[in-house]
Structure 1
Amino acid sequence: MTLAATELCLRAAAVTLLLVLAASMFADFRNVLAGRLVIAFALGTVAHAVTASIGAGPPISVSHAPLIALSTGDIVVFWLLTRALFDDAFVLRWWHGLIWAAVVTFSFVNCMWIAPSGHAQAAITTVNLLTLVFIVLAVAQTIGSWSADLVERRRRVRVFIVVASALYGGMNALLQIAYAGSRVTVEWANLLNAGVLAAIVAGITWAMMRVDGADLFAAPVEPVIANAQPAAMEEAADQKLVNALMRLMADERIYRQDNVTIGTLATRLRIPEYRLRRLINQRLGYRNFNVFLNNHRIEEAKAALADPAQAEVPVITIAMDAGFQSLGPFNRAFKATTGVTPTEYRRLKASAA
């Protein structure tokens, strides 16, 4: 079998797996944001698998350029997917779509006008440097959010998905940059690219099959401060630890501390981090450590906002006292929990008094 035929088979295998993955996600998780982003990412990767070429290739046709543009925009979807995977409360904003549209448009312009005008090397290099920027953002998001994920069964799978995708994207971008000035198609590089893509797609598909989809893409659940399970169903040792944790939160208000982490609480309770993750997730019903902390902070803020004696205290002071670092995250978390802004909440409580 020739190199070209082998490459074509690998591309076809990757496309088939990606379409199966997208269909599976659509059937089961089309109503969950992370599931929809997986579908979009899979379809964008299909466009990449069909159009990716290292070195010189045939002139780009009008029908081919949109596929290349969608392939380039897929890196923005990948960045958004990393955010949704590690934050069940993540929501898409209008400017996310604007970023995606800008990258897609820039890629299309590159294909149709910049590259054909004799600036192919600069066009290819610019697009792939942009790709590397989004890969760095996605990896940084993963590193920053991974420790807050309380669902043990999905943590490693999510990291594998992000790291494997980032490694392939980085390899492809570097190969594109390295051979941007080549006047011939680099067959071995295209074969390597297709082989690594097929292997990673197969690995991600296999990894996702090993984890319950409800764990990986479940919709956010309503957290509670009180015990989520009847006391009779809880083991005595776990209940003792849960009680100790709640004393830290209620009496010492440890959530007020700067940069408090799950490691901080585990050290105070003298237990391993993995056990504390399991307690907060399975006993208290939380899927994310930051949501657990913010729920306690918001409860304190709600009490302060409803207190007539604190009617003149600025909202930002109440937010900072409760442990938030700035007003923006506090306002968003407060409205997501209560359905109203802090100012509206204070006004409603004053009217009801």
Structure 2
Amino acid sequence: MGGPDILVTLDIALRGAGIALLLTVAAATLRQAQGRPAAWLGALLAGGAAAYAVCSSPGPHDPPLWFAPVLMLCTGNAAVFWLFAQAMFDDSFRLKPWHALVWLGLVIWPLVHLLGAGFTSHWLLGVLVRGAVIVLALLALVQTVRGWSSDLVEGRRRLRLFILIAVALHIAVTVTAELVIGPDKVPMSLHLLNSGALVAIAAIVALLLLSADLDSVLGTVTVEPAVGAPSSASPPPHPPTTAAAPEDEPADPALLATLERLMSVDRVYRQEGLTIGVLASRLGLPEYRLRRAINRGLGYRNFNEYLNRHRLADAKQALADPGQATVPVLTIALDSGFQSLGPFNRAFKADTGMTPTEYRKAAEGRNGS
């Protein structure tokens, strides 16, 4: 068996191993899918990556019509990757009907090609589709970086650093190579590098999933942290108990009491530019201990969510105060710690189902009755 034959055999073996690992990841993730969009999107992403291992293999690319489902999983996976990034790392993300249109926009091209439409072979259409894949990969990477500093879930922070950056770079490099060289002119050595990278990513993801607490990473059944009376920003109740990782430690009650004093008495949430690093420095703690206390002791998955709960309680108190009836909503928003009116309005509406003005009018009605 000559050199080229060895490369082909090795490529087939690597792709087979990658497909087996990815399907294992998909099955493990799907077991956690009840009520968790990140879980079933993750399973779909792994299944699409397995389909990609088949679709990107060297050789003639003129598949029969029955190959359409595999082709759809493969070509639509960039959209799934983008949605997975949002569902995984933005706890407020909700799937919308228009998200399906993004996926359909990617899969319609190969489906029409399978049906024999000649225009799908035009080079410009291929460039547009591959360009869209790169854009979606970059959007997923932006989502990863955006919430990195405020993420309180340790397992999720580790997973996001590897899974999304590695997969985003793999997609971007692979598609760029196809654009520059041409999908039908990729040398065997590059195919082998592609399959090797796919196996490495699948293996590391599988190891990370085996060692992670999937309930905390993917999110438990949603329970809104409660805020007490508008006069005080009280901490939320403890979240539902999940199987703890071996390294889990109970939150320090003294640290939780100090946090409560800083929030309810000193009102540090009003401080401009407050980050978890700034707060950790004020407490004289390493960041990881503060993250762990807020996440495990108070039930929050994101530092900004934790701050906003206290800021919203402050704003509700001011809006319900007859003595502040003439104070502009913008002033109340800024005094509560929000940096601008837009984020305040969105957070307030999501929390109460009312705009700040509607909330104030309702409070005036209660005070006048």
**What is the TM-score with the length of structure 2 in the denominator?**
0.80
Residue aligned with 1:28, SS: coil
* 2:145 equivalent to 1:131: no
Letter in 2 for 1:90: F
Deviates more, 1:318-327 or 1:59-68: 59-68
Q: CA distance change for structure 1 residues 243 and 39 in 2, over 3 Å: closer, same or farther?
A: same
Structure 1 CA distance for aligned equivalents of residues 64 and 329 of structure 2: 57
> 1:203 aligns to what?
204
User: Gapped runs of 5+ residues in structure 2?
Assistant: 227-233, 239-248
User: What is the root-mean-square deviation in Å for CA atoms of aligned residues?
Assistant: 3.0
User: Deviation string for 1:10-54 (max 9, x for gaps)?
Assistant: 223322322232222222223212112112212322332221257
Query: Given that residues 109 and 120 in structure 2 are in contact (C-alpha distance below 8 angstroms), is that contact kept between their aligned partners in structure 1?
Result: no
Instruction: State the partner residue of 1:52.
Output: 56
Instruction: Show the counterpart of 1:37.
Output: 41
Provide the secondary structure at the position in 1 that maps to 2:31.
helix
Indicate whether 1:293 and 2:295 are aligned.
no
Distance 1:285 1:301, change over 3 A: same
AA of the residue aligned to 2:27: A
Q: CA deviation at 1:145?
A: 0.8
Unaligned runs of 5+ in 1: 230-234
| TM-aligned CA distance change 1:109 to 1:350, over 3 Å | farther
Q: Does 1:103 align with 2:102?
A: no
Q: 1:63 to 1:262 in 2, by over 3 A?
A: same
Percent of counterpart pairs with the same letter?
A: 44
**Offset at residue 268 of structure 1 (A):** 1.6
Which residue, 310, 324, 330 being the options, matches 2:338?
Answer: 324
Deviates more, 1:296-305 or 1:22-31: 22-31
* Paired letter, 2:297: R
Q: Distance in 2 between matches of 1:239 and 1:345?
A: 35
Deviations 1:171-215 (A, max 9, x none): 211221232175x45322222212211221121111111001112
Which residue matches 1:306?
320
Identify, as 1 or 2, the structure richer in helix. Answer: 1
With 317-326 and 162-171 compared, the bigger mean Cα shift is at: 317-326
- Using the alignment, how far apart are the partners of 1:162 and 1:29 within structure 2? 19
Report the AA paired with residue 188 of structure 1.
S
Choose between structure 1 and 2 for higher RCO, CA contacts under 8 A separated by at least 6 residues: 1
Match of 2:216?
A: 215
Q: 1:90-138: CA deviations, max 9, x gaps?
A: 222344333333333456567854452xx33x44433333222222222
Letter in 2 for 1:4: V
Q: Which deviates more from structure 2 when the two are superposed, residues 162-171 or residues 328-337?
A: 328-337
The residue that corresponds to 1:159 in the other structure is 161
Q: Which shifted more, 185-194 or 209-218?
A: 185-194
Length-normalised TM-score, structure 1: 0.84
Pair 1:78 & 2:92 matched? no
SS at match of 1:146: coil
Distance in 1, matches of 2:345 and 2:66, equals 46
Partner of 1:171: 173
Alpha-carbon contact 2:32-2:215 (below 8 Å) kept: no
In structure 2, the CA distance between the partners of 1:185 and 1:274, relative to structure 1 (3 Å rule), is closer
- In 1, distance between residues paired with 2:323 and 2:107? 54
- The answer to whether 1:26 aligns with 2:30 is yes
